[in-house]
Amino acid sequence: MRPVIGVISDVKARDGHVVHGVTEKYIYAVARGAQAMPVLIPGTISAVDSAMAPERIVVDEILAAVDALFLPGSPSNVGPHHYGDLPHDPPLPADPHRDDISLPLIRAALERGVPLFGVCRGFQEMNVALGGTLFQKLYEQPGRFDHREDSSLDIEGQYSPAHGVALTEGGLLASLAGDTTWRVNSLHGQGVATLAPGVAVEATAGDGTIEAFRVPDSPGFNMAIQWHPEWRFWEDRLSSGIFTAFGAAARLAAERRRGGGRLKATG
């Protein structure tokens, strides 16, 4: 049996309904790149009938059901109140129902050694969950590049390599790449302002923007990446290596869980 990787969903209003979903490229990368069974995890389930109370998914229940967790990218942003900032005026796209489950789930997964991989918004969620802060508009910061995609290009052009990153010597990404430099795509408007304590930088852009980090003291595989390795991962050695390593960690976790060796949930 393939390991089960829970994929955090976005929560959006559409045509009078509330939709929980994930862009297919992320699901495909988990299924084929990590060789795992992707299972979508909803955010807070808001009531169709306003007289009903919202249904909250319990962290312990999620961690009892999956072998690993994947935090995909999204057009939405982490609510700034989670890192002590005021909303930008006008407010930027947000998804409080996703924040409601992703932030506590990140902390619990890292504490218990559940394999965890965050991309783009997932990268930002991991930084915030661990006590870091974000620039709400990275492109307005002096000396920083504009890391957003060129909207005049087609989708392939938007996801093409945009700039180089320096991979930390001796880090996991450098070992997977077999090099200390790499070209990556870039499709994000926000970025790390203050890096969370206790994390190790894995990649940095030429303007000093942190592009990847991991939590070395967590007992399981974990990685946070600001660019989009899920995009045609099979065409890029580093991207395919990341998903292969993530899948291997999920399979090891599955073997331990099915063999009765998984840590008991707490809290």
* Residues identified as active-site: 120, 228, 230
- 8 Å CB contact between 185 and 161: yes
User: How are beta strands 181-184 and 116-119 bridged, if at all?
Assistant: unpaired
**Residue holding tokens 């690993």?**
68
* Paired strand residues for 213: 201, 224
Backbone φ and ψ for 128, nearest 5 degrees, come out as -65, -45
* E strand segments, the chain: 4-8, 10-14, 17-21, 37-41, 68-71, 116-119, 133-135, 163-167, 181-184, 191-194, 200-205, 210-214, 222-225
- 8 Å CB contact between 83 and 190: no
Residues 6+ apart with CB under 8 A from 56: 44, 45, 100, 101
Task: Work out the angle at residue 159's Cα, subtended by the Cα atoms of residues 154 and 161, and round it to the nearest 5 degrees.
Answer: 125
Query: CA-to-CA distance for 228 and 188, rounded, in angstroms?
Result: 10
Tokens of 229: 């390795």
